């Protein structure tokens, strides 16, 4: 889908109110006393919590055994590698989104895919290159409010499934990069991945309706709802940090 097809997204029913509510919830987390100076610690905790939820959404485990020498579940291991790399990938995402996507896949699918296929879109799909190019342009130029851009990036990648492995982890990480780079959640203090996990199968139904165009507004509103839920998770992390 091209950016011109999406220019009126903010005028869809319910979207403006959902965007405002999501922004307000995230701003409150950033004002939490524990996050004023101690945000690196709460951000790290949120990152791990987000990675665990993202792994479960992709069919992996969310369990981390503190007594084990390594993570044995390949999906969770990939999600945690991605989480650890998010900060370094923000400037890459801001100038070369497709390069960042390739790196996300290399990290997420390292234990799932042939090394030669890591970071490479699935061959034999003629439309894929143009769709990804359009997505990259959209990330760099779309004029929408940040929560809308987060929803579109997330939804486009989930529907496009560009790599054929770890696509969900990649899509949610790209959404997280968008949250940080747009300034919506600059320190990564929230965990919308947990919000998506909590709605169960409704998550995939909603993104499918976005992909086929039958309920674009519904997906954006659902993402904003997950952002609000992720802000509540972020507040609980900050509360625990004191």
Each residue's pLDDT tens digit, 218-236: 999 999 999 999 999 999 9
Domain that holds residue 200: 3-241
The H-or-E segment that residue 223 falls in is: helix 216-241
Burial group, residue 61, by CB count within 10 angstroms (0-12, 13-18, 19+): middle
User: Are the C-beta atoms of 154 and 122 separated by less than 8 Å?
Assistant: no
Domain count, the chain: 1
pTM for this predicted structure: 0.95
pLDDT for res 7? 67
Place of tokens 């100076």: 37
Quick one: average pLDDT of 34-47?
Answer: 94
CA-to-CA separations, 60 to 51, 147, 181, in angstroms, rounded: 11, 27, 27
Look at residue 242 in the predicted model and tell me its pLDDT: 73
What digits encode the pLDDT tens for the residues 167-213? 999 999 999 999 999 999 999 999 999 999 999 999 999 999 999 99
**pLDDT class for 8, splitting at 50, 70, 90?**
confident
Assign residue 144 a region: left if phi > 0, alpha if psi is -120 to 50, beta otherwise? beta
CATH code at position 90: 1.10.3290.10
| pLDDT tens by residue, 54-89 | 999 999 999 987 777 789 999 999 999 999 999 999
Q: Which range among 69-73, 103-107, 156-160, 176-180 shows the weakest confidence by mean pLDDT?
A: 69-73
């Amino acid at each position: 889908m091209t950016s011109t097809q999406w220019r009126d997204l903010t005028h869809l029913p319910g979207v403006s109110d959902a965007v405002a509510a999501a922004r307000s919830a995230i701003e409150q987390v950033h004002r939490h006393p524990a996050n004023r100076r101690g945000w690196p610690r709460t951000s790290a905790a949120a990152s791990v919590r987000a990675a665990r939820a993202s792994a479960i959404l992709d069919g992996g485990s969310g369990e981390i055994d503190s007594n084990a020498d390594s993570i044995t579940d390949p999906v969770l291991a990939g999600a945690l590698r991605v989480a650890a790399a998010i900060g370094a990938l923000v400037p890459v995402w801001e100038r070369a989104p497709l390069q960042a996507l390739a790196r996300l896949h290399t990290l997420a699918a390292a234990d799932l895919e042939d090394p030669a296929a890591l970071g490479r879109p699935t061959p034999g799909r003629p439309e894929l290159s143009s769709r990804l190019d359009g997505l990259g342009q959209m990330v760099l130029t779309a004029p929408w409010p940040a929560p809308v851009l987060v929803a579109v990036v997330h939804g486009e990648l989930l529907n496009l499934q560009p790599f054929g492995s770890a696509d969900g982890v990649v899509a949610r990480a790209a959404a997280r990069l968008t949250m940080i780079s747009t300034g919506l959640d600059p320190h990564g203090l929230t965990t919308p991945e947990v919000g998506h996990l909590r709605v169960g199968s409704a998550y995939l139904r909603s993104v499918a309706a976005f992909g086929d165009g039958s309920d674009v507004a519904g997906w954006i509103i659902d993402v904003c709802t997950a952002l609000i839920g992720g802000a509540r998770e972020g507040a609980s992390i900050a509360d625990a940090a004191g």
